[in-house]
Amino acid sequence: MTFNTPQVLIIDDDPGVLFLHEIIVKEGALNRSPSTFLNAEKALDYIIPIDASTTKILIFLDINMPRINGWEFLEILVEKIKHADIKVVMVTSSLSKSEFEKSKEYEFIIDFWQKPMEEEQVYLLKENLGSWLGEHLANEN
């Protein structure tokens, strides 16, 4: 099984935050062309057809969104995509301790950030994910 460079998705219902996070991901050299989505439905439509057996996916996910919130998105994702190599960073304006605790229930949630994300967080994430990202990305500065 050969994995390619991870696909990076940013999901947030606020266009300004989405744009800012896209710039930060690019400037942090995490991904030159992340896929961005203003709602969870569009992101699910994009993710579900992906060949999960050969694709790694890194998702930056807002919690509080209309129609399908971040938690509902994760439940659908777990149901629809089995055995995928997915890592999720929750990025939220919420300071709720209960939401932080809930994030610990999902083994693929690797971090919980307050909005807006910062470039330093992306650099640290890149360093921590190391080989999962792929040799060329892990060494890029």
Q: What is the DSSP string of 33-56?
A: S-EEESSHHHHHHHHTTS-TTT-E
SS3 133: helix
Which pLDDT score is estimated for 54?
76
Predicted confidence pLDDT, tens digits, the chain (141 residues): 444 678 899 999 999 999 999 999 998 877 788 999 999 999 999 998 887 677 889 999 999 999 999 999 999 998 888 777 899 999 999 878 898 889 999 989 999 999 999 999 999 999 998 888 875 454 444
Q: Count structural domains, the chain.
A: 1
Q: What is the CATH number of the domain that holds 36?
A: 3.40.50.2300
Which pLDDT score is estimated for 4?
64
Does this model's pTM top 0.85?
yes
Does 52 fall in a domain? yes
Which pLDDT score is estimated for 48?
87
What is the residue range of 70's domain? 7-138
**Residue carrying structure tokens 């790694």:** 56
Does 1 fall in a domain? no
CA 65 – CA 43 distance, rounded (Å): 13
Does 72 fall in a domain? yes
